[in-house]
Structure 1
């Protein structure tokens, strides 16, 4: 078992007397790490300059996939020299609001190794990703492999 402990802190002297009046800004704290300035999505009266929970969910899926993928490439002697992902997520407000899909778009540059095997490892990374295994919406992976 692995356990994760975070602290979220919020305060507003004006309080929540009115929906349109209170600030959505808050701080995410994890011991020993830099704090994250958080807010709601700007659509929900949040601050555009701060991270929001929806962005972090998409980021968690992208990061988890990348970490599994890099480990699998190392195990299969495929040398990756660059990895980037322009991930997207879609949230609907229908039926109480929920994510309906996330798409990962990893672009991987290989120094050495079999490009087709490198493509196949994305499927395995997706199957192993703890975060992807925890969500109830589809997560698509659309990799691009570049050989140096």
Structure 2
């Protein structure tokens, strides 16, 4: 017997207000405002968040949250998680697009015995990440696993 699972749908809202030149304010109800604009490469200022950075940051955040969710389901609690991500903006057939994003998480664990389990969890992260499932970019996830240093 084939049973179908009912999935929920969710909507997310964001508002943008143009301020001046190539700057605006990104907001959503009940959240901090973010000053956004063009990156310097497109006549913007370096001190504001650009859409390209927000996209890369969204992917990096989603991969972290997906890892932590999957780890929690397997009773794995990392000591620390930090990650750097870099997106490549290229002109493809006359249109700019983020073609690839390299994500390099560093997961600190309590002991060596947890490394293999953490590695197995990380292998399923990209396929389950909402943002990586929503973009065309090639995503490369290269994780490093380390054991927390013990105080002497």
Return the TM-score normalized by structure 1: 0.89
Q: Which runs of 4+ in 1 moved over 3 A?
A: none
In structure 1, stretches of 5+ residues that fail to align are: 13-22
Q: 5 Å matches for 1:31-50?
A: 31-50=29-48
Contact residue 78 and residue 110 of structure 2 kept, 8 A: yes
TM-score with structure 2 length normalisation? 0.86
Aligned-partner Cα distance in 2 for 1:100–1:91: 6
- Measure, in 1, the Cα distance between the counterparts of 2:77 and 2:106: 14
Q: Which structure features the higher share of strand residues? A: 2
From 31, 53, 56, the counterpart of 1:55:
53
Q: CA deviation at 1:73?
A: 1.1
* Distance (Å, rounded) in 2 between the aligned partners of 1:137 and 1:32: 31
Residue 131 of structure 2 corresponds to which residue in structure 1? 131
Pick which of 94-103 and 60-69 moved more. Answer: 94-103
What stretches of structure 2 of length at least 5 have no aligned partner? 1-8
1:78 deviation in Å? 1.5
* Alignment RMSD (CA, Å): 1.2
Q: How many aligned positions are there?
A: 138
